[in-house]
């Protein structure tokens, strides 16, 4: 609304955020990084977030990645330099690639190329949604009602426990138990991934 001319009425409907990445750019990027398409489903994991309380445990992401890689999927881990340590814990398998680093374009191109993304409540979840890539958002201390992308996403996952402290919207768990994220099981996220992959239309190889 701040971008509207002074006195102009707000429109009845706002356009949804949208990012477009040319297929040729995705293909060149894959060639440069040795990520040539081989027909396998690509699942991107975005384990970072602002504040530790918004992060699903790295061990849970690592177990999810291991299971999905064992099922034949290709796993890419994305994020900034601050996620390097988390990515190292996750990317311990030949079919799991660490694509974290200082260049945000790598994350955007990975999300544009992927068949599915799994992300905490972070900026990269919104990027995936704006690109139209099916995305699963994991929400702990924050509420999906408040903070999920405006674009539709494939699934939102929140704890089923009735926690009186949630949502607190705090970057650090004030009570120290982090149950809103720890209690979300790998089984549940993996099942959601499988359901979305099974029901997704086949995408053209990039």
Confidence at residue 33, expressed as pLDDT on a 0 to 100 scale: 94
Question: Which fold would CATH assign to domain 30-197?
Answer: Rossmann fold (3.40.50)
The residues near 55 (Cβ < 8 Å, ≥ 6 apart) are: 47, 48, 49, 86, 120, 181
Share of the chain above pLDDT 90, in %: 70
Confidence at residue 34, expressed as pLDDT on a 0 to 100 scale: 92
Average pLDDT of the residues in 102-130:
97
Confidence at residue 205, expressed as pLDDT on a 0 to 100 scale: 42
87 has a pLDDT exceeding 60: yes
Quote the mean pLDDT of the chain. 91
Of residues 60 and 15, more confidently modeled: 60
DSSP state of 133: -
Average pLDDT of the residues in 4-16:
88
Phi, psi of 134 (to 5 degrees): -55, 130
pLDDT tens profile 148-199: 999 999 999 998 878 888 888 888 888 888 888 999 999 999 999 999 999 8
Average pLDDT of the residues in 131-159:
94
DSSP characters for 29-44?
Answer: HHHHHT----S--EEE
203 has a pLDDT exceeding 60: no
25 has a pLDDT exceeding 90: yes
Confidence at residue 136, expressed as pLDDT on a 0 to 100 scale: 97
Q: Is 38 helix (H, G, I), strand (E, B) or coil?
A: coil
pTM for this predicted structure: 0.90
Dihedral Cα 118, 119, 120, 123, nearest 10 deg: -160
Confidence category of residue 201, pLDDT binned at 50, 70, 90:
low
Confidence category of residue 204, pLDDT binned at 50, 70, 90:
very low
Confidence category of residue 206, pLDDT binned at 50, 70, 90:
very low
Q: Is 120 helix (H, G, I), strand (E, B) or coil?
A: strand
């Amino acid at each position: 609304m701040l971008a509207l001319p002074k006195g102009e009425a707000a429109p009845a409907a706002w356009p949804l955020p949208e990012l477009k990445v040319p297929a040729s750019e995705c293909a060149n990027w894959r060639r440069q990084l040795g990520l040539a398409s081989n027909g396998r489903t690509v699942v991107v994991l975005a384990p970072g977030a602002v504040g530790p309380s918004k992060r699903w445990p790295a061990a849970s992401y690592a177990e999810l990645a291991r299971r999905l890689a064992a099922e034949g999927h290709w796993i890419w881990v994305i994020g900034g330099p601050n996620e390097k340590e988390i990515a190292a814990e996750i990317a311990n398998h030949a079919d799991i690639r660490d694509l974290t680093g200082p260049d945000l374009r790598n994350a955007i191109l990975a999300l544009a190329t992927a068949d599915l993304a799994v992300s905490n409540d972070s900026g990269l979840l919104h990027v995936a949604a704006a690109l139209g890539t099916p995305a699963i958002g994991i929400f702990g201390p924050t509420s999906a009602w408040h903070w999920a992308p405006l674009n539709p996403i494939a699934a939102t996952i929140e704890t089923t426990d009735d926690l009186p402290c949630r949502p607190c919207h705090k970057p650090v768990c004030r009570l120290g138990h982090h149950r809103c994220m720890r209690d979300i099981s790998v089984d549940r996220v993996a099942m959601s991934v499988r359901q979305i992959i099974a029901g997704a239309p086949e995408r053209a190889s990039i």
